Each structure stands twice: as C-alpha cells, then as structure tokens.
Structure 1
C-alpha cells in the first residue's frame, strides 16, 4: 500500500512539473513588438487680444496673431530633441511689426520631473533707428550705423528721437536667451514649474537680462463637464526680471528733477516683478485662455525700459526717466487668447 501511495505521489509530482513547465513556456511568449516612430511634428496658431511678454505688452495693447512649427525627435519615450520656428505680430517703438523666433533644445523626463533645456532666439526684422545723436562719425558714444540714412537717421528733427516723446530706439532689437525649465507633475490635477532664462544682451539694450519664475496649474477632473469633452484649468505665474545697465545709446544727458542721473554711459535698466493668473477651457485641439497680468513697474520706469512710442507726458519722473513721460505698457491688463495646438502623430493619423 505504501508503495502504491509513493508511486501515485511521484506520478503527481512529475505531472505537475510537466504542467508547470508547460505554463512557463506559454508565459514567455511575447506579443509582436509595437512599432515606434520617433519623429513627430507639433504646430499651432493663436489669436490674442494683447500679446504680453513677462508682463509687458508687445503689441501696444492691440490684437496679435501667432503661429509655430516644431519638429521633434524622440530618442526614447523619456528623451526628446526638438527645434522650432514661430512668429507673432507686434508693435515695437522701432516700427518692427513682427517677431520671428528660432529655438531648439532637449526635453528629458524622469518620473514626475519634465525638464527642458535650450536656446531661444528673438528676431525683429524691419526696424528703424530713432536717435539723431547716434549718427556714425558724430563722436557720440553709442552710435548706430542704422542712423546714417539721413541727417537725423529716422529721428524727429526736434526731439532727436521718436516723434512726440523723444524716446530712442535701435534698428535692431534682436537677442537670444539660454533657458532651463522643469515641470513637476504632483498628480493628475496639480503641477508646479520652475523657469530660468538668461541673455547677455536683452532686447539688444546692451544690458544683461535674467528672468526666473515659478508656475502652478490645477487641472479640473475629466468628469467636471460630463461627457462633453470640455476641460478646464486654472494657472498662474510669479516672476522676476533682473536687468543690467544699458549701453550709451540709451543714456540720458540730463538729470531727473527728482534726483538721479544723468546717465550718459547708459541707464541702469529697472528690474521688476511680474505675475499673472488665469482660467482656461480646452476642447479637442482648442484652448481659450482668459488671463490677468501685471507688473510693479512705474509708468516712468516703464517708459525708460520700453521706449514706448505712444508714451505721453504725465509727470512720471524717475531717476532714469528725466523727461516725465509715462507708459501704460507695463500695467494691469486682461488677455483673451484662442489657440489650436496639434501634433502629427496624435491628430493627423
């Protein structure tokens, strides 16, 4: 009897081992590999009631249209290389009417951390020079070759600068920045970000520029609007723009009535804080963003920094703004923006 039991046990073990081996063989059979296309293209366009960059209007508080095109190469699912080109309508003091951006970088992702490192170039074609004192050969520091077109360059013969307020503007305002960003996804609803930009010659003022900011975003649950497909978010940013001293092109020859100056070698450009908060609604590839933006720049310092061609005299004297002209380009404003954003792999398959 014991022999029979032992034999039965042995047969069961052998049978069980064979079955287990069978199962193991079936388990290692993998499905066919999924095809991976590393190339993608992102592109889109927008219409905004006002183009605001770091708290300051670039379109003189008027509507602006923009578009971008961005080829991407995904080395892996967590590492992307990209280049891009973008354009927007603007209204600059030097009469430039368009901003053309050329940029590129790398986006590595580590879990909840999405990084972005790159270089961004801002080009402003079609500008004119406004500074009669900067005619080459005049012996005055800060001369600009673009002012040689006429005895006063393109400047007003009375003020020596822009008509009405006498502000100076270079023909070329183009510049570039290096940047580093990280977005941290805390969960399905909350994310925060840190951003850092540096330029050795911000807006070609002759002054270095450094911008740092923190962002936050709350995304509403997908069920908020039922099955309509509409999404919603609330986001905001607080940033600080630090600036160095301009070159002598923007220097002042007179002192401010409030003290300070003159600054013939260049003005100490005003560093400032900026912030914005807004609500957005998404539907398929479309986004409607409604936002409030502001800075702590005074009207006088805003005029000195921007060379606003629409600035009017209102007694806004500051140490770097001895003329008393004030600009509304840096104050509180609302922005409505409708945009469409697509990627080839997602939207054009």
Structure 2
C-alpha cells in the first residue's frame, strides 16, 4: 500500500511539474514586437477671424486661412527630425500674395523636458514696392516701379520682406494638467528691413481632466504667453528726412524700431482632431510706433508723433484683438491607420 501511495505521489509531482513548466513557457512567450516605423506626417488647416503674429495683425484684422504639412522622422522615441511648410493668407502694405513658411529642425526629449531647435523661413511672394520718390532717404536711386507706387498714408514698404529666424524652445510637463515653456527666436534681418530681431517669451498651459465633460470626448485647456520683441535699426529704405516739432530726427540712414511687449490668453476646446481656440491678444506698442513698424496701408491721423514716426499717422494693427480660430490637426500614424 505504501508503495502504491508513493508511486502515486511521484506521478502527481511529475505531472504537476510538467504542467507548471508548460504554463510558465506559455506565460513568458510574448508575441513578436511590432515593427518600429520611424516615419510620420503631421498636417492640418485652420480658419480664423484674424491672423495675429506676436501681437500684430497680419491680415488687417480680417479673416485668414492657413494650412501646413510636416513630415517627421523619429530616430528614437526621444529624438525627432522634421521639415515642414505652411501657408497663411495675409494683407500687407506691399500686397504680397500670401505668407509661405518653410522650416525644419530637431526635437529631442529628456524626461519631462521637450526641446525644439530649428530654422524658420518666412516667404512673401508677389509683393510690390511702395515708396513714391525717385530715391531713398540716403539718396540711393530706386527702381522706376518702386518710385511710381504711393501708399495713401505716405508709408513705404519693400517688394520683398521675406526673412528667416533660428529658434530654440523648451517645454516642461509637470503632470497631465500643467505645462510651461520658454521660446527664443532670432533674425539678423527681420522682415528684410535691415533691422535684427529677437523674440523671447514664456508660455503656460493648463489642460483640464478628461472627465470634465463626462464621456463626451470634449477636452478643454487654458493657455497664455508673455513675450518681448527686441528690434534693431533699419536700412536707409525705411529712413526718414521728415522733420516735425519735437521730433528727434531726421534719420536718413534708418530708424530704430521700438521694442515692445506682447501677451495673449485664451481658452480652447478639443474634440477628436478639432480645436476651437478663443483668445485675447495685445501689445504695448503705441499707434505711432506701430505705424512705423508695420507700414500699414490704412493708418490715419496726425497726432501720433514719435521719434520714428514724424508724420503722426497712427495704426491699430498692434492693439487689442480677439481671435477665434478653428483648426484640424492630424498625423498619419494616428489618424490614417
């Protein structure tokens, strides 16, 4: 009897060991990992009631449309290379057809820090020179086309105002709700004016919990930015020989654009690939300095005299503005599978 019990026990242990080993083998055997596809494409479009860039309207406070296309290559999950192009409808004094942007860079990520370094080119094709005099303020002859075109308010603008910037950005994610960022952009020839430009800003964003609107799929965020645009001295094309009582000029060789602060704050709502962003934007630029900087084609008045704006004409292109923007943003890997 003892022998039978012992034999049964040995058989049970042997069978049990074999069964356990089989379970263990099946438990650790994972399916082959999915192939890593480093390529992706982001693209989208938007419509807005006003195209504001660093606090200044680019569309004369009229509606604007935009679209972009951005191929991406993920070297690793923490390192991305990208190039892109985008376009926006604008309303400039030189009647440029549109703004066409070409850009590229690298986006490395280190834990909660996401960096972005690159070069951004702003192209404005189809422009016309407006000056209304045979020579520039320094006496340099202008082309017949340039001398023949006059803006009603007396402002001047080059045919081509294309330029480029190099930039560096960092975004720090505290948790699922809070993010903060720093941005820096530099151009040696801002708007092809001859003046250098440097823009620095801080940003913040709060994203509401996904459950704030229940199971509707609607998300919400609040975000804002505060920045300062530093600017140098233009070339002689934008200089002035005009004099006015109390005016510090003349400046035939160029004017020193006024530095200015700009800020915006807004609330956004997201649903699938769509975003509705409602925002308030403003600057501390005076109407006179705004006129000198933008060469607005619809400035008016004579009382907005500043050291760089002796005619006294003023522009509202740099003042407070409300922006409503509806956009759609997709990526091939996420939305087109």
Q: 1:259 aligns with which of 241, 247, 259?
A: 247
Q: Which residue pairs with 1:308 in the alignment?
A: 296
Which whole-Å CA distance do the structure 2 matches of 1:54 and 1:198 have between them? Answer: 14
**Is 1:213 aligned with 2:212?**
no
1:135 Cα deviation from its structure 2 partner: 4.7
User: Could you tell me how far 1:241 is from its partner in structure 2?
Assistant: 0.2
Count the aligned residue pairs: 324
Are 1:280 and 2:278 matched, yes or no? no
Please state if 1:194 is matched with 2:182. Answer: yes
How does the TM-score come out when normalised to structure 2?
0.91
Looking at structure 2, the residues matched to 242 and 102 of structure 1 have their Cα atoms a distance apart, in angstroms, of 23
Which sections of structure 1, spanning at least 5 residues, go unmatched? 1-16, 157-161
Q: Where do 1:1-349 residues align within 5 Å?
A: 29-133=29-133, 135=135, 140-141=139-140, 143-144=141-142, 147-149=143-145, 152-154=147-149, 156=150, 162-163=151-152, 165-349=153-337
1:256 and 1:111 mapped to 2: Cα distance?
A: 58
CA contact (8 A) 2:296 2:317 kept: yes
Equivalent in the alignment of 2:14: none
Structure 1 length-normalised TM: 0.88
Contact map agreement 2:276 2:326 (CA 8 A) in 1: yes
CA contact (8 A) 1:135 1:148 kept: no
Give the 3 Å change call, closer, same or farther, for CA 239–254 of structure 1 in structure 2: same
Instruction: Tell me the distance in 1 between the aligned counterparts of 2:164 and 2:170.
Output: 20
Q: Residues 139 and 327 from structure 1, CA distance in 2 versus in 1: closer, same or farther, beyond 3 angstroms?
A: closer
Post-superposition offset of 1:208: 0.2
The worse-fitting range, judged by mean Cα deviation, of 18-27 and 120-129 is 18-27
The CA RMSD over aligned residues, in Å, is 2.3
CA distance in 2, matches of 1:204, 1:229: 45
Other structure's SS at 2:133 match: helix
Following superposition, the deviation at residue 32 of structure 1 comes to 0.8
C-alpha distance in structure 1 between counterparts of 2:24 and 2:244, whole Å = 86
Structure 2: 5+ residue runs without aligned partners? 1-16
Separation in 2, partners of 1:52, 1:131: 26
